[in-house]
Amino acid sequence: MIDYIVTTGANLYHDLHHSLDLPLSQGTPFVNDNELFEKDIIRIYDIFMEYEVLAATDNWLMRTFSRPEFQKRMGTRELHYLLGKFADEVEKERGTVGKSFIAEAYRYEVPIYTSSPGDSTLGLDIAALNLVGKSIYIDSSIDVNETAALILEAKQIGKSGVVVWGGGSPKNFILQPEPALQEVLGFDIKGHDYFVQVTDARPDTGGLSGATPNEAVSWAKIDPDTVNQSVVCYSDTTIVMPLLTAYLESCKIRRKPKRLYKKLPKLTDKLREKFLQQKDLILGKRSVADTIQFLKGSKG
Amino acid sequence: MIDYIVTTGANLYHDLHHSLDLPLSQGTPFVNDNELFEKDIIRIYDIFMEYEVLAATDNWLMRTFSRPEFQKRMGTRELHYLLGKFADEVEKERGTVGKSFIAEAYRYEVPIYTSSPGDSTLGLDIAALNLVGKSIYIDSSIDVNETAALILEAKQIGKSGVVVWGGGSPKNFILQPEPALQEVLGFDIKGHDYFVQVTDARPDTGGLSGATPNEAVSWAKIDPDTVNQSVVCYSDTTIVMPLLTAYLESCKIRRKPKRLYKKLPKLTDKLREKFLQQKDLILGKRSVADTIQFLKGSKG
Amino acid sequence: MIDYIVTTGANLYHDLHHSLDLPLSQGTPFVNDNELFEKDIIRIYDIFMEYEVLAATDNWLMRTFSRPEFQKRMGTRELHYLLGKFADEVEKERGTVGKSFIAEAYRYEVPIYTSSPGDSTLGLDIAALNLVGKSIYIDSSIDVNETAALILEAKQIGKSGVVVWGGGSPKNFILQPEPALQEVLGFDIKGHDYFVQVTDARPDTGGLSGATPNEAVSWAKIDPDTVNQSVVCYSDTTIVMPLLTAYLESCKIRRKPKRLYKKLPKLTDKLREKFLQQKDLILGKRSVADTIQFLKGSKG
Amino acid sequence: MIDYIVTTGANLYHDLHHSLDLPLSQGTPFVNDNELFEKDIIRIYDIFMEYEVLAATDNWLMRTFSRPEFQKRMGTRELHYLLGKFADEVEKERGTVGKSFIAEAYRYEVPIYTSSPGDSTLGLDIAALNLVGKSIYIDSSIDVNETAALILEAKQIGKSGVVVWGGGSPKNFILQPEPALQEVLGFDIKGHDYFVQVTDARPDTGGLSGATPNEAVSWAKIDPDTVNQSVVCYSDTTIVMPLLTAYLESCKIRRKPKRLYKKLPKLTDKLREKFLQQKDLILGKRSVADTIQFLKGSKG
């Protein structure tokens, strides 16, 4: 039921431990971390893993990223698809099929993006390979234009919506195609029709993570006519995600997978073409000349 | 007193409104956002700006990013330095010198990095220029290696520390040079000596934003011998930053600026050289062979 | 499955709207409260009621509290039991049996206490009746001694535990019988064997609402040998209570109701008797003489 | 500058350690509480005290509460004033004058109320004395009527306002005189003119602690005409209280103390008298008859 995903590199990196059949265990956060350090045990809140788990994952990633398929400039959709393909292979070998979402996304051709390609061990491994002369490069602009192309298409054939788990940079990334299309590229489209967020971030700190759907209306990220249908649930995602998934299961809704992965190059070409037809409107609702006029005006 | 900065593109983008002398105003978050949308007013919690402010900033950015200096592959240190240079120019013209931190950082040669170069209007503008054939292109691997080079140097000549305001992707990015150096590149260094964080994120959600300094010890990001000196202040940064700044002012401590911006290419060469001398240790404390052995072992 | 309850007066007061078949409705918190005020509509976050709902409840309460049964000095166990009895009557008349927990508690003889008898409209109504000469009068000391008597008995016949939903004054009240018995009354008992808390309060503010079970060990409120079995769930109780209730239902555990209401006078007499046998130990582990010695010593 | 205080018994109880010159020390919350328990050390987040500190305070309280002045039925204003008087004495003996707020409030005749008289060690000590036949009794209705009388007087001679630090039961207690006067006692007054709250409680959990000033308008607790001047600061009170106090100091505002303690019996008589003149209006804006009509109507 998922069309595309924006997540962090860390989620993808630690997902691969499952593909590689490496052991993680759940414990308690009330531990002595200096003792863990002595014993080469790594902790993520209440999840524990031996240092070997990271070393083995890095070793597999280094060998995988060194393959000829990766030696190019690409967006993260392609990077994660290729990783998913090799994760799928290793899962078949090791009997771990279905344990990772990166391989599952590969199998259903669901594009996965990350907003911060250098952040996480995936990014560290790629940078290390660059140091020794490998030519694997990530270009975030490809991702930016592809996600804008996706929303432009969605808006032309129907409605659009997002489900946000948590906040941070991925929240901004999944919402920014709306201003990209309207403000930067000058398309006359509306904000999202549906918006659901599960987060523990509070609005009153002023940050984007806790920003309300109403605030997003002022940015044209959400359609003012449908914002009343938005849902924000203030809770830990690990409580709500199983509940919502169980509910969707119980509804027995079946959707044909959209398999967007392969459609994206064509959609991006379409975006480029349409944009070039109107590039004198490059700054959205106002022309460049008007804006310069305004800039001058704001001084006088 | 600041050696280098990791921040979000949004902080840098909205900082530029001050350089350009564009008006922002403070109000209340308790407003009707559908009315704001009708009137082309944009809201960030309790800060308001006309749509023209964004349009004018984008117009200036589009023209600036189209200059020949930007048509290359680079890290965000260089991107933000060049932006700071042109912001410095516009500030001198418009009488806004000292209003933005991007121009101030340029003047003091303080490197500014972002972990998510495609995220924020800076990234949207760059991607739009790519659509029309410009060749400005950000490579996060350059940033990853430069920040690792910085920490390697710091550890060899003395102590290191970080001050974290908030959480999210910038928190991970500023802490990851430690595992990059130890786990991925195989250097034998210790974690940070000093760690200060001001955040409203709570540890119990399990996310990195609220992760404690102790958890960071298990990752070797912080030295277990000094973690007791770490400070975590659970508060809104807009309350604590002025307090801490006023305190530092009152201490009358003066430090000679380190002007790291220009030193980084050399430091990165040094990192590469040292890494190549030991690249058979590529996976940190264990050799590749050991790790493969482990991978096999974990199945048998 | 509930032995006794400590709650706020507000929970009991608004519970009575259900007994009286008065309409509440659920809406959105994003409303104009000045408009609500004009229209005599009262809001509790996203629950709305007409002013008449309060007026009608107060009217029923005033008439009920004026009955001869209430004209005495009593603890809140008796107050709430009598209220539950009249709520049970009105529910039978109006066809709302099972809609309130106060009447249900009456039917199962489950004692209900409140730590702040003057706080809430129940307290306001009682105080107003005092102004016109009625002699209804709540003595919290009765509650304090009864809840201590309950725990003393529990400890002598088996194990004890608490489930805390939220925090605040009721959390302190339900935990204080442990120090009352040990520190103030000098009994040699252990802390609770079981502790479960669902709260959104965070430990780092230092308040009791978010205080951890470990902190409670230092106060002897929880047994150090069993504190590792404690559960703290950081979530909104309205998410977790239905989940936990559904789980308990699905376990098909049946317990015979303890019907503690009527047993309490006898248990309290037993507490008094045992206490009088040892009142020279009035200050817990140390005798009065030792303590005076200490007081002197702390000056010299 | 403070007219009256509503607080918890725990704040008052631990305040007395300072009067008695008993040692508390500040440490870290990251400790092993089972070890503390073994060593008879008590922890409140990052504050530590020996068990003797509690024992000595209880011993002093038991002896003080046993004095003839306390053997009566009274409100907490009187209870805390008498305690403050004896604390003042002990402070003069021990050279700790100015260390506690309870003695300072006594000296300035500032009334101190608590909403939960049985909650806290003060309540435990009183209840223990009741077990051995002492006749010290707290009646919260006296407090409810006195605080209503205070607000009625304030509204007749000028404006009123509250400053709320934290939330919980004291927040409700300090705000409830408004509905007590309007809804229960039938006076035609307006809500508070000023409202300031410093809290870490969030509105979205639906509890009173985090409820907004706007929600309070619907309850007539705050005047709709002035609610826009309300201030809510989401922060730890231990950060904001010193800041605000320093600011007020720097303003060099001096107010003559109102010394309300002794005026309260007369104000309460005035409230009773005015209420009796209109007691047929007992349920606020509507008469009893109207309300009964409504109750019947709501069924038909």
Q: Which of A92, A221, A258, A266 is catalytic?
A: A221
B294 interfacial to chain C (CB closer than 8 Å)? no
Q: How far is CA D63 from the centre of its chain?
A: 24
D63 interfacial to chain A (CB closer than 8 Å)? no
Length of chain A: 300
Buried b / exposed e over A74-95, threshold 16 CB at 10 Å, is bbbbbbbbbbbebbbebbeebe
Q: Is the pLDDT of residue B284 over 70?
A: no
Answer whether B143's CB lies under 8 Å from B177's CB: no
Give me chain A's average pLDDT, please: 91
Record: contact B33-A218, CB cut-off 8 A: yes
What average pLDDT does the segment B65-93 reach? 97
Question: Among partner residues D22, D116, D218, which is closest to C116 by beta-carbon distance?
Answer: D116
Distance from CA of A235 to the nearest CA of C (A): 6
D240 interfacial to chain C (CB closer than 8 Å)? no
A202 interfacial to chain D (CB closer than 8 Å)? yes
Distance from CA of B212 to the nearest CA of A (A): 9
Q: Closest Cα to residue B137, out of C95, A145, D131?
A: A145
- Residue A96 and residue A100: Cα distance in Å, rounded? 8
Q: What was the pLDDT predicted at A284?
A: 40
Q: What was the pLDDT predicted at D276?
A: 87
Contacts of C239 in chain A (CB under 8 A): 235, 239-240
Read off the pLDDT of residues B131-188 as tens digits, 9 standing for 90 and up.
989 999 999 999 999 999 999 999 999 999 999 999 999 999 999 999 999 988 889 9
Measured CA to CA in angstroms, residue B131 lies from A269, A279, B135, C242 at distances of 9, 10, 10, 52
Q: What was the pLDDT predicted at D30?
A: 85
Query: Would the ipTM clear 0.90, i.e. be above it?
Result: yes
Contacts of C234 in chain A (CB under 8 A): 236
A162 interfacial to chain B (CB closer than 8 Å)? no
Answer whether D130's CB lies under 8 Å from C149's CB: no
First to last CA, chain B: 54
Q: What sign does the dihedral A18-A24-A29-A32 (CA atoms) show?
A: negative
- pLDDT less than 50: residues of chain D: 281-288, 291-292, 294-300
Distance from CA of D299 to the nearest CA of B (A): 38
B234 interfacial to chain C (CB closer than 8 Å)? yes
Contacts of A228 in chain C (CB under 8 A): 28
Q: What was the pLDDT predicted at C277?
A: 83
D202 interfacial to chain A (CB closer than 8 Å)? yes
Read off the pLDDT of residues B202-219 as tens digits, 9 standing for 90 and up.
888 889 999 999 999 999
Read off the pLDDT of residues C43-84 as tens digits, 9 standing for 90 and up.
999 999 999 999 999 999 999 999 999 999 999 999 999 999
Q: Which of D57, D61, D141 should we substitute to test contact with C (largest number of C Cβ atoms within 10 Å)?
A: D141
Q: Closest Cα to residue C144, out of D133, D12, D116, D123?
A: D123
What average pLDDT does the segment A248-275 reach? 94
Which B residues in the span 72-131 are in contact with A, Cβ-Cβ below 8 Å? 73, 94, 115-121, 123-128, 130-131
Record: contact B202-C205, CB cut-off 8 A: no
Question: Among partner residues A132, A148, A227, which is closest to B276 by beta-carbon distance?
Answer: A132
D27 interfacial to chain C (CB closer than 8 Å)? no
Q: What was the pLDDT predicted at D205?
A: 87
Question: Among partner residues A168, A180, A184, which is closest to B169 by beta-carbon distance?
Answer: A168
C46 interfacial to chain A (CB closer than 8 Å)? no
Query: For residue A139, what are the contacts with CB-CB under 8 A and spacing of at least 6?
Result: A73, A74, A75, B137, B138, B139
Read off the pLDDT of residues C239-264 as tens digits, 9 standing for 90 and up.
999 999 999 999 998 899 999 999 99
Q: Which chains does C contact via 3+ CB–CB distances below 8 A?
A: A, B, D
Query: For residue D259, what are the contacts with CB-CB under 8 A and spacing of at least 6?
Result: D108, D109, D110
- pLDDT less than 50: residues of chain C: 281, 283-288, 292, 294-300
Compare all CA atoms of chain B with the CA of D240 and give the residue at the minimum distance.
Answer: B239
Buried b / exposed e over B279-292, threshold 16 CB at 10 Å, is eebbbbbbbbeebb
pTM of structure: 0.91
Q: Which of D99, D155, D171, D221 is catalytic?
A: D221
Residue whose pair of structure tokens reads 């229209």 in the numeric block:
C39
Residue whose pair of structure tokens reads 């519970």 in the numeric block:
C15
What average pLDDT does the segment B236-246 reach? 94
Q: What was the pLDDT predicted at B30?
A: 85
Contacts of A146 in chain B (CB under 8 A): none
Answer whether D46's CB lies under 8 Å from C204's CB: no
- Residue B242 and residue D247: Cα distance in Å, rounded? 15
- Residue C161 and residue C191: Cα distance in Å, rounded? 9
Q: What is the DSSP secondary-structure string of B222-264? A: B-TTTGGG-EEEES-HHHHHHHHHHHHHHHT--------GGGH
Q: What was the pLDDT predicted at B155?
A: 95
In a 13 Å sphere around the CA of A106, the CA atoms on its Cβ side amount to 23
Answer whether D294's CB lies under 8 Å from C55's CB: yes
Question: Among partner residues D204, D232, D234, which is closest to A234 by beta-carbon distance?
Answer: D204
Record: contact B128-A184, CB cut-off 8 A: yes
What average pLDDT does the segment A25-48 reach? 93
B269 interfacial to chain A (CB closer than 8 Å)? no
Q: What was the pLDDT predicted at D150?
A: 97
